[in-house]
Amino acid sequence: MNMNIAVAGTGYVGLVAGVCFAEVGHQVMCVDIDKEKVEVMKAGISPIYEDGLEELMQKNNAEGRIDYTTDYQKAYREADAIFIGVGGTPERSDGSADLTYIATVARQIAESVVKDCLVVVKSTVPVGTNDKVEQFIQDFLVNDVKVEVASNPEFLAQGTAVYDTLHAKRIIIGSESTWAEDRLMEIYQPFHLPIVSVNRRSAEMIKYASNDFLALKISYMNDIANLCELVGADIQDVAEGMSYDERIGAKFLNAGIGYGGSCFPKDTKALDYIAKQNGYALDTVKAAIDVNKKQRIMLFTKASKRLITLNGLKVAVLGLTFKPGTDDLREAPSLDNVPLLLEQGGADIYAYDPVGASNFAKVYPEGKNGNGRITYVDQAAEALEDANVCFIFTEWGGEIKAIEPDTYKRLMRTPLIYDGRNIYKVQDMERAGAEYHSIGRQAVMRKEVKEISEHELQTH
Ligand code: UDX
């Protein structure tokens, strides 16, 4: 049966969920406090860059299954279910989750609902939060209606959010009554996906345990990669050899400059914090966090050993976002490396990213910056032209991975490349005559590259 669904928050989680609920036939009202954003969405424009989202918005807007409003009272009054997907739970400096947004929405729900209603928490929240939200709503409830809270974490990845929602590997339902369970099952019935129904605390834990397991997998591969360099092994060959074992799996074995994004860094720290609060040391997750911290500046550390200084050298930076397919910069490794290159290095950076540059320029405006300078360019070739060093931070397909190894040799003053995403085959870079450093593989060294760079320094 189609239901009236309200969605609180139109960030990645809320908007994608709302649009997908509309797509399978439900009647959806998305609520956001930002008036301008609501107008933009009504006009069929997605406020976030996400493959396929805008098309689905336009289709469902036109067919009248989805609408957007700032009037939360109206939206919640008519809803059979209200999904909380507020740009969730930012992390506090100690790693704990900040639940202010969720509490605000819970209060608004309590004051607005006039019929029985299921409240569903989609944002990632510490174990036990759903219990608190339910209690909070009961405390402030104005009308005599039934309101229960269920947990329904999502597992979408940015860049593939719509696909991941419509083709999710599993739907997790965390509830404390068959009424809540049945209502949520009914909402998901048209998706035809496997459903795992558990209690609320287990559902909350499934989200953290899944994300942190993936973060751990990446940190483990990065740790092994660093060892590979020392013992003469190649991490990509090692990963391939491991991947045939189904117990290990073939995905998330890519070594690189560490994980970023809105989930892994936050959720590892949050679970570590939850464990500490409960008097337990979650050593595995702690190790994943520590390895990632070191890994993110691994290339800068390598470059600092190779060159006396980067002061005044032209440094090409290719890729700024935390991964391809998104304009999101949250916890992107570039945000650790660019300030190091500018401050400690005094570099003259030419940065290229197909979609993330304007967001990055809000943090590091073009021009003189600390001891260095930063300029944003529209083409990777402009960044590489006459550059002394190149850092690759994001493996954008057509724009960065497609650059031929010879191009570096042809365009750069000195073809010295630090590749944080293992984009190239080591032999291809060797053949192209470049000095090439990557992660977990043997470096291609060129004496003359270092000499020329140092000569450049002296003549600056
Ligand atoms: C992640 C989870 O995949 C998703 O299920 C969850 O709901 C939210 O967090 P997302 O952060 O969008 O999604 O991106 P993901 O593709 O998982 O990548 C996260 C980070 O890990 C990126 O910085 C990526 O570059 C890095 N990564 C990923 C690796 O370094 N190696 C890998 O093998 C995979």
172-222 pLDDT per residue, tens: 999 999 999 999 999 999 999 999 999 999 999 999 999 999 999 999 999
Residue of 260, 13, 369 whose CA lies nearest to 161: 13
- Mutate which of 213, 218, 268, 335 for ligand 1? The one with the most ligand atoms within 8 Å of its CB, which is 218
**pTM score of the predicted model:** 0.93
Nearest residue (CA) to ligand 1, atom 9: 263
| Identical fold between 4-198 and 207-295 | no
Please tell me the CATH superfamily of domain 297-459, with its number. Answer: NAD(P)-binding Rossmann-like Domain (3.40.50.720)
pLDDT band at 7 (very low <50, low <70, confident <90, very high): very high
**At residue 152, what are phi and psi to the nearest 5 degrees?**
-145, 70
Q: Tell me, using a 6 A CB cutoff, whether residue 220 lines ligand 1.
A: no
User: How many CB atoms sit inside 10 A of residue 82's CB?
Assistant: 28
Structure tokens at 126: 């510490």
Q: Which atom of ligand 1 is nearest to the CA of 323?
A: 25
Q: Tell me, using a 6 A CB cutoff, whether residue 256 lines ligand 1.
A: yes
Domain boundaries, the chain: 4-198, 207-295, 297-459
Distance between CA atoms of 413 and 416, rounded to whole angstroms?
9
Query: pLDDT, tens digit, for every residue of 8-37?
Result: 999 889 999 999 999 999 999 999 999 999
Q: What pLDDT does residue 460 have?
A: 60
Q: What residue ranges in 377-441 does DSSP mark as E strands?
A: 389-392, 416-419, 435-437
ipTM value > 0.95: yes
Q: What value does the mean pLDDT of the chain take?
A: 94
The conformational region for residue 148 under phi > 0 = left, psi -120 to 50 = alpha, else beta, is: beta
Gap from CA of 261 to ligand 1 centroid (Å): 7
Q: Tell me, using a 6 A CB cutoff, whether residue 265 lines ligand 1.
A: no
Q: What pLDDT does residue 90 have?
A: 64
Per-residue CA distances from 39 to 23, 24, 68, 139 (Å): 20, 24, 8, 34
- Tell me: is residue 217 an annotated ligand-binding position: no
Domain 207-295 falls under CATH 3.30.460.20: no
Q: What pLDDT does residue 196 have?
A: 98
Gap from CA of 265 to ligand 1 centroid (Å): 10
pLDDT band at 351 (very low <50, low <70, confident <90, very high): very high
Q: Which fold has domain 4-198?
A: Rossmann fold (3.40.50)
**Cα dihedral sign for 400, 405, 407, 413?**
positive
Judging by DSSP bridges, how do beta strands 372-376 and 348-352 pair with one another? parallel
Q: Which atom of ligand 1 is nearest to the CA of 256?
A: 30
Helix, strand, or coil here: 69?
strand
Gap from CA of 207 to ligand 1 centroid (Å): 14
Gap from CA of 258 to ligand 1 centroid (Å): 10
